[in-house]
Amino acid sequence: MNVREVIAYENYFEDFLLKQPKKVQDKIFKIIEAIETLERVPSNYLKHIVGTSGLYEA
């Protein structure tokens, strides 16, 4: 069950992801899965961008 939805902005994420080795891509997908499913995400995975509403950086 998802707690939140991760939305990639335009094609920047896909461009970045495709340049990564398969092993790194797998790690990125595991982190995204954690962000979407965990009620409380550890701050080393996700940090709120100060001065914004609903924007985070990984």
pLDDT in tens, 19-47: 999 999 999 999 899 889 999 888 887 88
Contact 33, 25 (CB under 8 A): no
- Enter the pTM of the model: 0.74
Rounded Cα distance, 42 and 47, in Å: 9
Domain contains 2: no
Domain contains 6: no
What pLDDT is attached to residue 45? 77
Rounded Cα distance, 55 and 8, in Å: 11
Give the pLDDT band of residue 56 (cuts 50, 70, 90).
confident
Give the pLDDT band of residue 1 (cuts 50, 70, 90).
confident
Range of the domain at 42: 12-57
What total number of domains does the chain contain?
Answer: 1
Rounded Cα distance, 6 and 54, in Å: 11
Measured at the CA of 41, the angle between CA 39 and CA 27, to 5 degrees, comes to: 120
Domain contains 50: yes
